[in-house]
Structure 1
């Protein structure tokens, strides 16, 4: 699978995205949208009846993001995969991207009007193995406790698709564990289909 982290676990339907009048990025944090990109540095998204701000993640968000790691393993893992090991691997990968040194890596926070974080989205621009054209890969998508079933997952997925189109990507891709049935149903309901299976044999 692309990257060492996985799309998260709790999702629901509904939602869309509309532009915001937020100020442009200052370019000082590699996690932010580059100033030469056409995509806005922040946008409003609609999760059912609630409007939230989707903005670039900042260092102050690190604890919130890392606190969502347990949600990435709250389902049955494949044989030979231990939750502690998988969680630590995801945490290490996130820390690598949170330091702002990874090119083509974009981290976003869904935030309420009160400034409370409600969700996290991590996108990566990668080249397609076969065509060589850019793809947008959803490395991580998670909602905070209390936001399950409120349409935030769908709203962030819509945001990811708009981001991918604005960056002229050929595909929007993601990886998900076989046992994460809820996430698989959610993605399939939103137009994703299985392209390739990664098979493993524990030794």
Structure 2
């Protein structure tokens, strides 16, 4: 079996990234968000977002693939949270295509993001995830992330309010 490769995303990857993003959100957030909200996620809108992100390198975007079959992506950069030191990085987004869940894609993407953040001089990394997103919480806790107390905030997605929690870990 060939191993998962991770490389920087190119503009040509934007559509595949958007397709993975939409499919993963629709699968992972079943039961968290109403069906109508999940159905409203658009590949076209996500493609425009990821094209711009790749073009501006904000965030940095890496893709995981085997034999050019796209399996997942990660976007990472400096933390967007107010008051965070410049040495704090953030995983802005990380998704694997549902058919590739539990195959090592997340670990390959996390390794690439960690290396990229360390190269940028980051000594700590954070991320936000929904409190009820048990799959993501389990993955990131296994990767050494800890829940930050008193960071829970409420976010509105569509017309649903969800609790988000920040996780963090050291990079040194």
TM over 0.5: yes
In structure 2, do the counterparts of structure 1 residues 78 and 117 end up closer, same or farther at CA, with 3 Å as the change threshold?
Answer: closer
In terms of fraction of residues, the more helix-rich structure is 2
Quote the Cα distance in structure 1 between the aligned partners of 2:15 and 2:110. 22
Once the two structures are superposed, residues 127-149 of structure 1 have per-residue CA deviations (whole angstroms, 9 ceiling, x without a partner) of 65334323222122122243222
**TM-score normalised by L of structure 2:** 0.71
1:83 aligned residue: 38
In structure 2, do the counterparts of structure 1 residues 131 and 125 end up closer, same or farther at CA, with 3 Å as the change threshold?
Answer: closer
Q: Calculate the aligned-residue CA RMSD, in Å.
A: 2.9
**TM-score normalised by L of structure 1:** 0.62
- Contact conserved, 2:74 with 2:109, CA < 8 A, in 1? yes
The number of equivalent residue pairs is 151
Quote the Cα distance in structure 1 between the aligned partners of 2:102 and 2:3. 15
Once the two structures are superposed, residues 169-193 of structure 1 have per-residue CA deviations (whole angstroms, 9 ceiling, x without a partner) of 1321211112211111111121112
In structure 2, list runs of 5 or more residues that go unmatched: 162-172
In structure 2, do the counterparts of structure 1 residues 183 and 50 end up closer, same or farther at CA, with 3 Å as the change threshold?
Answer: farther
1:150 aligned residue: 103
In structure 1, list runs of 5 or more residues that go unmatched: 1-48
1:122 aligned residue: 75
